[in-house]
Amino acid sequence: MRITQRAITQTSLQGLNSNLAALAKLQNQLTAGTTISRPSDSPTGTNTSMLTRRDLASNAQQARNITDGQAVLDATDAALQNMLTQTISVQSLTTQALNGGAMSAESLQAIATQVSGLHDSLLGQANQVVQGRPLFGGVTSGTTAYDASGSYVGVGGAGGVDAPVTRRVSDTETVRVDITGPEAFGADGSGNLFALTKNIAAHAAAGDNSALSDDLGQLTTAISRMSTALADVGTRSARLQTAATANSAAGLTLTSRLSQTEDVDMPKTIMQMQQQQVSYQAALQTTAKVLQPTLLDFLR
């Protein structure tokens, strides 16, 4: 088989172009800092990269959910702590009015005034708004959980059932982040904390010991209910803290996986590029000797 000068030239140029393309690819990787500039660079790596980036996006959203949920639970915990302290003050005042013996009407009125003030404060705290929604309002679209009379205005207050407000904290777990008013303060009626404190103020002013005795029993139940709600909030907060730790660890793992898939190994790539440069230079010198570009070269 006859090897022509043209065949030699074409083969040599193809080899040089291939060598130069490999060198350019290594230079691009060093410049971009990634081994994957287009899917054809590594189909398998591209697929892994896309899946990992999807998981990273999900992990970031879950981190935001955890932060958001923790803010709601922290606000709920603070509100319940303050309200529990005030409710215990109402209990103390009720006991004082009940056991005051021949307490003057003025003294009883003073107690009634204090209880009435605490009632207003409790109702105000129950209507706190966090992140644009009533803290104890469940899924209500309104701006308050209780109306001026102390009646619950959430979905559950209309004979319905409040859907829980949840946050997804992992691929497999959601955590409830709310406590509704009826759960924390009792259902509407005489057992409702706000109706109860209003009644205590009226009964204290009237010196009605029999009614105050009943009120004191209901108040003990209300305090127990609020304590249970506080414990529930604390348990959920602990779950969110655990989820936050797991989310952070998962984020680091995913970031490491993405780095292993995409990032350039600088020392290795630099060495490969240097080797490719040496190979390219050698190929240029060899080709220059093999190729005879002029007629004069054939006459030598």
CA 296 to CA 300: how far, in whole Å?
A: 7
> pLDDT tens digit string along 248-259?
999 999 988 877
Q: Are 260 and 44 in contact (CB under 8 A)?
A: no
Residue pair 196/216 in contact by the 8 Å Cβ criterion: no
SS3 9: helix
Q: Residue 183: what pLDDT?
A: 92
pLDDT band at 21 (very low <50, low <70, confident <90, very high): low
Is there a contact between 233 and 77 (Cβ–Cβ < 8 Å)? yes
- Report whether pLDDT(126) > 90: yes
Average pLDDT over residues 26-52: 69
Please check the confidence at residue 268 and state whether its pLDDT lies above 70: no
> Half-sphere exposure (CA, 13 Å, Cβ side) for 34?
14
The amino acid occupying position 173 is E
Q: Nearest-CA neighbor of 251 among 52, 43, 21, 3?
A: 52
**pLDDT band of 23, cuts 50, 70, 90:** low
Question: What's the rounded Cα separation, in Å, for the pair 59 and 53?
Answer: 10
pLDDT digits 0-9 by tens, 197-213: 999 999 999 989 999 99
Q: Which band of pLDDT confidence, cut at 50, 70 and 90, is reported for residue 116?
A: very high
193, amino acid identity: L
Q: Which residue has the tokens 């660890």?
A: 249
pLDDT higher than 70, residue 168: yes
Q: Where are the domains of the chain?
A: 5-33+264-299, 54-248
- How far apart CA 145 and CA 126 sit, in angstroms, is 7
Q: Which residue has the higher pLDDT, 51 or 35?
A: 51
For the structural domain made of 54-248, what CATH number should be given?
1.20.1330.10
- pTM of structure: 0.76
- Confidence band (pLDDT; 50, 70, 90) for 82? very high
Beta bridge partners of 152: 146
Query: Residue 224's CB: how many other CB atoms inside 10 A?
Result: 10
